Structure 1
């Protein structure tokens, strides 16, 4: 290959053509999907009609509080459940461990809103579970305690059950990379099983 061929090949590799129809189609689709976002941004700069002060005085503080509670509750729930399940399937030996190792990922296959609708239909007052309880014990609605499904606590449980596999996968990968020798050394130096997990395994992860 001579110098002219090398220069020609180099010039071809850095030559950019016009946008293809696929690029233009993707750009057009992205713009269409972004219309609601543009609408929200545009409405921010429009003169208000007194709606924002009314929202701030009435519902906005409660919405912010509920969002923070949901964020903290789900964060704590997925951390405990994801890390705990990852530790069990990596460090412990029990029947069915291989099955649980992959079955714990299955919640990723179902969207959160589908799980929420399903659990709400099953657990609400007119659902099959409470109807069976009333029929079995000859009770009426309000004569027995049942957790409120349509609540912030129920939302925390649903989101935790659906989102914990993300933490589980990351924690499992981190625990698989650790050496058992570090845990054995911690146990030899007097650490309990919980102490070795808290002071050695978690920091190394």
Structure 2
């Protein structure tokens, strides 16, 4: 009897065949992923393959002269642009999502417009706008009667100028992810925090922002990758970073090996940024939309607070799109007239 039951429980040849077929299907499903991974990893492996190759003393020359300048400038770009885009992107996303104020519906989509302006185009527009012969300084001298030597004016073609241009060009990435996270948040937690005595700023800092931290961190990480990869804006401003150094080593000094060695250092820099983002995020994950999200009518800001919210959303839009667009249009009309 026991032998008969054991024979009935033992899987037959059809079951074995089905298992082999499912295992083969799993392997076949992995093939496209593995192929795509190899395609993506091939350039990285190739770059690291140049690390130990001789560069005829050029690498030692770069280490002694410009490598630490590249590191320093790239580090300050990462810190400045990361802070700037995080503050602007998350701040405007919170205002547009959680409050009603003049222009809110327009800002909800208009804050994406700087994505239509590449950072290099912004750099060109602001250089023409703020240089000594540009309209801003010309108007300043006309109003005050000063000469060029009588006043100080910030230099746009500098590291600070690059941070400013990249911030107003790239903040929409953080804005998009942060706004999506804020929209998915239930207002129950925010209402509870307000009933427990939190101010509007306290509710944002202690509840809203921590819940959206994974989305904000992902947006900032993407912005930092764009910042480290940018060549046009930093090159136009004369800021020495890894991207300009790689271009100079390859085309200026004629050494692809030295360029690849600089690229390997940049990749290590990128891995450090990603590891830092992962460490700060910890075990946090993106907030998922639940089936029942409590939402009430958004509170309306009144008086000075309403206009401050409008100004806070208008400034990034003006600096990232409106002013450069007007400047480029004026240059185009002026060139047509001449």
TM-score by length of 2: 0.48
Bigger drift between 60-69 and 137-146 goes to 137-146
CA distance in 2, matches of 1:43, 1:142: 50
Unaligned runs of 5+ in 2: 1-24, 26-38, 213-338
Of 177-186 and 44-53, the range deviating more from structure 2: 44-53
Q: 1:118 aligns with which of 120, 125, 146?
A: 125
Partners of 2:150 and 2:108 lie apart in 1 by 42
For residue 61 of structure 1, give the secondary structure of its aligned residue in structure 2: helix
Q: 1:202 aligns with which of 190, 203, 209?
A: 209
Aligned to 1:73: 80
Match of 1:150 in 2: 157
> Is 1:175 paired with 2:182?
yes
Number of equivalences:
172
The one of 127, 134, 137 equivalent to 1:127 is 134
> 1:48, CA displacement in angstroms?
2.0
Q: CA deviation at 1:151?
A: 0.9
Q: 1:192 to 1:55 in 2, by over 3 A?
A: same
| Aligned pair partner of 1:188 in 192, 195, 206 | 195
Given candidates 98, 103, 113, the residue that maps to 2:110 is 103
Report which structure shows greater RCO (CA 8 Å, sep ≥6): 2
Say which SS state the counterpart of residue 202 (structure 1) adopts: helix
Task: Note if 1:59 corresponds to 2:66.
Answer: yes
| Gap regions ≥5 residues in structure 1 | 1-13, 15-29
Deviation per CA, 1:141-185, whole angstroms, max 9, x where unpaired?
A: 131121110111111110000100000010111111112221111
1:41 deviates by: 7.3
Deviation at 1:44, TM superposition (A): 5.3
Aligned residues: CA RMSD: 2.3
Q: Could you tell me which residue of structure 2 aligns to residue 20 of structure 1?
A: none
TM-score, length of structure 1 as denominator length: 0.77
The Cα shift of 1:126 comes to 2.1
* Matched residue, 1:50: 57
